[in-house]
Structure 1
Amino acid sequence: MTVDADIAICGAGPAGMALAALLVKRGMRAERIALIDAKPLEQAQNDPRSLALSYGSRQILEQIGAWPIEATAIHDIHVSRKGQFGRSMITREEQDVPALGYVTRYGSVVQALGAVCDALGVRSLRPARVVRKDEDANQVALHLEGEAPQMLRAAIVVQAEGGLFGQQEEKAVARDYQQTALIAQVRTSAPVAHRAFERFTHEGPLALLPQDEEYSLVWCCRPDTAAELLELEDDAFLARLGDMFGHRVGRFTATGRRLAFPLGLNAGVTGSARTTAIGNAAQTLHPVAGQGLNLGLRDATVLARLLAQSATPDMLARYAELRAQDRSLTVRATDTMARIFANESPAQALLGLSLAAIDIIRPARSLLADLMMYGRR
């Protein structure tokens, strides 16, 4: 069986489905778009992982029609460095926005986007997996495995499924931070409503993101430390977490299941005349500042605007040009922070002074907040 499409999107996660919906919103016929994913939508909707959405990402989801979703708003962000004087507080009031960001679940985002894509009539090929890709001057032929083998011919192919660091083909800029992210849902005795925390330690950043009555924890540390933390009994783990974070939210009283994954940078211009990549498939970042998904949604927004005009190689080249600054700045910023805290760097000693300066100088806070919410504009 052979199916034709103008745009084939490989990966029906948040970035891929956002791209499909934005294309239709900008006038492309829904039946000319194909979403391909190895997982059934129902499986993706049950994914409990937490995601951090910037205020700019909320605006993109509103444009698509995939907002509101179940999410906890972040009204302020407290940034500190363990063992040093100095901290910074970024607030929604100072930035004149309803929220700096939101914490939600992966399943909630894909459920909302999936409903929009279904309502718009976007073709969904799932479960299906691309096993071979043949490109010539006029099209790309995708050979798919699924319930039945088939081939899809498309004018443009967008890779939107990135996977985890360590499971990807290495790109132009690749770096193993020798860090592991340990994630879990935790409870505390004195939570601060709508406040997120970014706590820098000598092994890596530790983030607490408010979610419902709990916090979503992202604890970046050395692999041996992460392995040790995974093996601890809950009470011992909570005690270690309290020692590292401090008492700004009281005592840590409960933890859910703990998971861990390696951290690294894998970014660079990918694709060919008729293929490109967005989101995690284009740049896998360290989770510091939570920019991965937000950068991917900005990718989707720009690409949709161009491809809705013309699904051609010229538009893919233009897309690469327009996204270069935002991508480069975000990659450099997260990479710099990750490297400083990947080991006992002398640069860490300057962080306390830097945080104190940011807290005093309002334009510096506003610049940092603007980059986190909207990227490079």
Structure 2
Amino acid sequence: MTDDVKMDAQLDKRLDVDVAICGAGPVGMALAALMAARGVAGERIALIDGKSLGQAISDPRSIALAWGSRLLLQDVGAWPGMASSATAIHEIHVSRRGHLGRSMMDRSEHGLEALGYVARYGDVVDALSRACERAGVQVLRPLRVAALDERTDGVVLQLDDGRALHAKVAVQAEGGVFGEQATAARSHDYGQTAVIARVSASAPIPHRAFERFTDEGPLALLPQDGADGHQYALVWCVRPERAQQLLDLGADDFLRALGQAFGERLGSFTRVSERAAFPLGLNADPRATARTVAIGNAAQTLHPVAGQGLNLGLRDAAVLARLLARSLTDDDGQSAIAQFTAARERDRGMVIRATDTMARVFADKGPLQPLFGLALAALDTVKPARMLLAEFMMFGRR
């Protein structure tokens, strides 16, 4: 049989699975691996993604993983493969630029080895890809879904290589970034752009993360050790015109500007990597149909303040995996979608409200600003409130 005949035979073949997951990023792969861990046969799960695995693994972006997310990755055997490359966060220092008051969250108050971790996106993808491979999950990449047809007995996904994928349930896990998405039911443009890079400082404090609220938006420095020693993943939220100015600056001028915005807690900033930027906004729509549902960024794109986006998406994956594993044999997974929407309402709603409020309020220059510094100081002295906030950041609304 010639190669052309083999390809024609492959294109004619109907692909049947229980669950089709559109998007093989961390959230989509976590869903696949978690379903397999709960008894769904790997060959009955399909992951579809437009990027090759090599492209995904080479992604240099930094991501924050809460302690609860580490537990989820451990559950599918993905954590051991990336533990050595993830930097632990022992403390989180929160402050308001130009105002008194700050708060410090410490792992010792919770009896944990870390409040969270900072990892390279590509390392997380690599570890989860290996977990999916061990489970026998079908991975279709690089391929895109050209059309989706929901029917009473399932969903048909037309792939851009000409094949049709038939599934009982389809999950959208490919969200993209704000500004490139269709406007959702709840949407807000914060008028901010995140400038991201990796930076080094002359007096680093190992394992301490910083969330610094400025007049334009939050500035986060997350510890991320590398080949050059202690480094920080920078997420600096500013007005769009300011973001472009920062991108255009030479390295030395950029580092000076960062030092003026952040202060001298880490000495002076000495090195910066290549910089990138992306627009920030809220885009959320929790609705689902009888056989389709969205999770992660596809369901709720959030402001990066407090680093909750990926962690919220991983909790989506954990709940949906558990519910689908129960219902696929009973009703083709339809009851799982309705149960999932109800089960995730509180956690999703609280995280969306919290990040939206912080993004709006802390960038406001109104007369209430001095009160926010006092609130941070009060938070630092009231241990139960501080612990509640830390547990919310680590585990969400339970």
Give the TM interval when normalised to the shorter protein: over 0.9
Partner of 1:93: 108
Partner of 1:141: 156
Choose which of 355, 373, 376 in structure 1 pairs with 2:394.
Answer: 373
Deviation for aligned residue 1:345: 3.4
Deviation for aligned residue 1:344: 2.0
1:352 match: secondary structure: helix
User: Are positions 1:27 and 2:42 aligned together?
Assistant: no
Give the letter for the 1:223 counterpart.
P
Partner of 1:271: 288
Partner of 1:165: 178
Is the 2:213–2:363 Cα contact (8 Å) retained in structure 1? no
Give the letter for the 2:342 counterpart.
E
User: Are positions 1:301 and 2:322 aligned together?
Assistant: no
Partner Cα distance (1:348, 1:310) in 2: 50
Partner Cα distance (1:345, 1:8) in 2: 48
User: Are positions 1:41 and 2:62 aligned together?
Assistant: no
User: Are positions 1:15 and 2:9 aligned together?
Assistant: no
Partner Cα distance (2:150, 2:210) in 1: 47
Choose which of 96, 102, 121 in structure 2 pairs with 1:81.
Answer: 96
Deviation for aligned residue 1:271: 2.8
Q: Return the index of the structure with the highest Cα Rg.
A: 2
Q: Which stretch has the larger CA shift, 335-344 or 33-42?
A: 335-344
User: Are positions 1:67 and 2:79 aligned together?
Assistant: yes
2:326 match: secondary structure: coil
* TM-score (normalised: structure 1): 0.98
Choose which of 116, 120, 138 in structure 2 pairs with 1:123.
Answer: 138
Identity within the alignment, %: 60
Unaligned runs of at least 5 residues, structure 2: 1-11
Is the 2:77–2:131 Cα contact (8 Å) retained in structure 1? yes
Is the 2:94–2:103 Cα contact (8 Å) retained in structure 1? yes
Partner of 1:183: 196
Deviation for aligned residue 1:244: 0.7
Deviation for aligned residue 1:178: 0.2
Deviation for aligned residue 1:166: 1.1
User: Are positions 1:236 and 2:238 aligned together?
Assistant: no
2:259 match: secondary structure: helix
Partner of 2:213: 200
Give the letter for the 2:158 counterpart.
H
Q: Which stretch has the larger CA shift, 339-348 or 26-35?
A: 339-348
User: Are positions 1:320 and 2:341 aligned together?
Assistant: yes
- Post-superposition Cα deviations, 1:37-96, rounded to whole Å, max 9, x if no partner, equal 000111100100000000000000000110131200000000011111100000000121
Is the 1:179–1:342 Cα contact (8 Å) retained in structure 2? no
- Post-superposition Cα deviations, 1:318-343, rounded to whole Å, max 9, x if no partner, equal 00000000000000000000011344
- Post-superposition Cα deviations, 1:243-300, rounded to whole Å, max 9, x if no partner, equal 1100111100010111110000001223311000110000000000000000000000
Deviation for aligned residue 1:348: 2.6
Give the letter for the 2:349 counterpart.
S
Is the 2:290–2:334 Cα contact (8 Å) retained in structure 1? yes
Aligned pairs, number: 375
Partner of 1:336: 357
Partner Cα distance (2:214, 2:373) in 1: 11
Is the 2:66–2:394 Cα contact (8 Å) retained in structure 1? yes
Q: How has the CA–CA distance of structure 1 residues 274 and 347 changed in structure 2, closer, same or farther, with 3 Å as cutoff?
A: farther
